[in-house]
Amino acid sequence: MVRNDDHELVRRAQKDDKEAFELLVERHKSRVFAVAGGILRNREDVEDVAQQVFLKAYFSLKRFDQRSAFSTWLYKITVNECWDVLRKRKVRPLVFEADLSEEQAQRYRAAEDVQDGTPDISETLEKRQELDRLLECLEERDRLMLVLKEVRGFSVEEIAGILEINGNTVKVRLFRARQKIVERVKRKDAAKA
């Protein structure tokens, strides 16, 4: 019986089995999108990066020795690729609507519309901008940890693997990051009141 787990699929893909690699893409695309979406906010960028990640993975698969999980290796490529995009552009990672050109903003709204069918797009955008402002007080790495952990449901071990840091460091940083944003929310609410 053919075991279709990652290990087996990777082994087959390393022997130029394209179907096996396509199965790996299908299996991991959602989480690659989630990781990239935690760093980049522009949907087009996320899609481009995700495609680039799988291309890189395919062409370096023969060098992957399977000592770590394929998913961890893939997410690590994703994070590096996203940071590369940001470094090349030398812009802040979070894109507000005001930063977009009219054409981009329209496409962004259209993409949102198609994506979740929400009737009130401006509300979605507002929420997103609020989230971006809320997370601005955190370092890039802490922001990524927080989004991956508390929104996308990644485990501490997975995050530690992706960012190549100790699990305890992840826990401590998450603890502090949460403290920071909760304080910020409380201050904001107090100011409103």
Partner 1 sequence: MKCQEFVDELEGLPVERSGEATLESLSAKLTEAARQHSGKCASCRAGLEDLAAARSVLRRLAGPPPEAGPWFAKRVMGAIAARENEIEEGRNGVWSSVGRLAPRLAAVCAVLLMLGGTWAYEQNRAEQIKQEEMRSSESLFEAPASSPLNDDVMASATEGRP
| Interacting residues with partner 1 (CB under 8 A) | 18, 21-22, 25-26, 29-30, 33-34, 36-37, 43, 46-47, 50-51, 54-55, 58-59, 115-116, 124, 127-128, 130-131, 134, 146-147, 149-153, 155-156, 170-171, 174-175, 178-179, 181-182, 185
Rounded least distance, CB 143 to partner 1, Å: 11
How many CB atoms are closer than 10 A to CB 33? 18
C-beta separation of 96 from 132 below 8 A: yes
Look at the block and give the residue holding tokens 């020795």.
65
Rounded least distance, CB 36 to partner 1, Å: 8
Cβ proximity to partner 1, 96 vs 175, nearer residue: 175
Of all helices (H) and strands (E), which one includes residue 173?
A: helix 167-192
Cβ proximity to partner 1, 80 vs 132, nearer residue: 132
Rounded to an integer, what distance in angstroms lies between the CA atom of residue 106 and that of residue 121?
11
Cβ proximity to partner 1, 99 vs 153, nearer residue: 153
Cβ proximity to partner 1, 9 vs 147, nearer residue: 147
Rounded least distance, CB 116 to partner 1, Å: 6
HEC profile of 27-79? HHHHHHHHHHHHHCCCHHHHHHHHHHHHHHHHHHHHHCCCCCCHHHHHHHHHH
Rounded least distance, CB 181 to partner 1, Å: 6
Cβ proximity to partner 1, 20 vs 67, nearer residue: 20
Report which DSSP code applies to 147.
I
